[in-house]
Amino acid sequence: MNTSGFDFNSQTINVLSSLESNSRIPHAIIIEGSDKDKTLAAARFLSMYAVCTAEQKPCAVCNQCHKAQNAAHADIYYAQPEGKSGSYSIKQLRKIIDDAYIKPNEANAKVYILADAENRLSAVQQNALLKLIEEPPKNVIFIFTCENSRNFLITIRSRCTVLRLRDEHSFDDEATGYAKQIIEGMLSTKEYELLKNLTLLSKKDKADDVLSVVTLILRDGLMILSGGKPKTDSELGRRLSLSFNKRKIMELIEVTEDAKTKIAQYININLLTTWLCGEYRRISWQR
């Protein structure tokens, strides 16, 4: 992923780069951050990546990138708030649903960007999009921006990859250290070692950050397997790439994201760590 020339801090670059796998990005992405301009800039960057024709995407040079950068690409749709409520209307969402099944006009992909979605999509409106996000047409990408992804329905959130844009050094040393111990537990042949390290999640105020760093390190392993460069921890990323294949790492990432959703539901932390240990081991040991 080519981030040179874009005004992103190193943490944002790491998070965006971690998305890429086999020159693709996930079909549904939630970009979370307190700065609406920055989350929208990240969404625009990803839309450029989706339509870019160069080998190193986004090149910011090709015609597709220029159109995307200027929000003038025929295959990139920016949902517009309507009425006094400033929400996205059901009529507009139905139009998106119908349009998603039509082939792109110019690019190899279609992108739908819904900014400030937590405030502009009611539960009814989110449910209207659920089936499409669950089983999207080929090469269709949805990007939602928000301040807090926990305000989405669990059914939507669990089907999206959540990116958290933060200021530099937002993950403190304690959260990073806990995350590395959990990765060590995954790599260990002893189940007790993993379960013991997962008890570090008992600090609920830290748990979300810890699991976010776990995801970033897992993506390092995925990046190495895909021929890319790790962004967070090169040594743990290397060891993950030697121990697990791409499918397993992607499953470990999905389980980790699911765990973050469960924390948001105020699940008993002891039940969570037991469940997470079982899921990590199931994925690690399966053939």
Q: Can you give the pLDDT of all 287 residues of the chain as single tens digits?
A: 888 878 787 767 877 877 877 778 899 999 998 889 999 999 999 999 999 999 889 999 999 999 999 999 999 999 999 888 889 999 999 999 999 999 999 999 999 999 999 999 999 999 999 999 999 999 999 999 999 888 899 889 888 988 888 754 467 788 889 999 999 999 988 888 888 999 888 876 788 889 989 988 998 998 899 888 887 889 999 999 999 998 899 899 989 988 887 776 656 888 888 999 999 999 988 76
Residue 146: its H or E element: strand 140-146
Instruction: Give the integer Cα–Cα distance in Å for 286 and 214.
Output: 20
Distance separating alpha carbons of residues 263 and 104, to the nearest angstrom: 38
Q: Is 68 exposed, middle or buried (0-12, 13-18, 19+ CB in 10 A)?
A: buried
Is the peptide bond preceding residue 136 cis, with omega within 30 degrees of 0?
Answer: no
Q: What is the dihedral of CA 232, 238, 243, 248, to 10 degrees?
A: 40
Mark out the alpha helices in the chain (DSSP H runs). 10-17, 36-51, 63-69, 90-100, 117-120, 123-134, 154-157, 173-187, 191-198, 204-225, 234-243, 246-264, 269-285
Q: Report the C-alpha gap between 223 and 205 in whole angstroms.
A: 29
Query: Distance between CA 113 and CA 70 in Å, rounded?
Result: 14
d(CA 210, CA 259): 11
Q: Which residues contact 166 (CB under 8 A, 6 or more apart)?
A: 11, 33
Structural contact between residues 143 and 43, judged by C-beta atoms closer than 8 angstroms: yes
According to the model, what pLDDT value does residue 266 have? 58
**Cβ atoms 124, 154 nearer than 8 A:** no
The tokens 């690690």 sit on which residue? Answer: 284
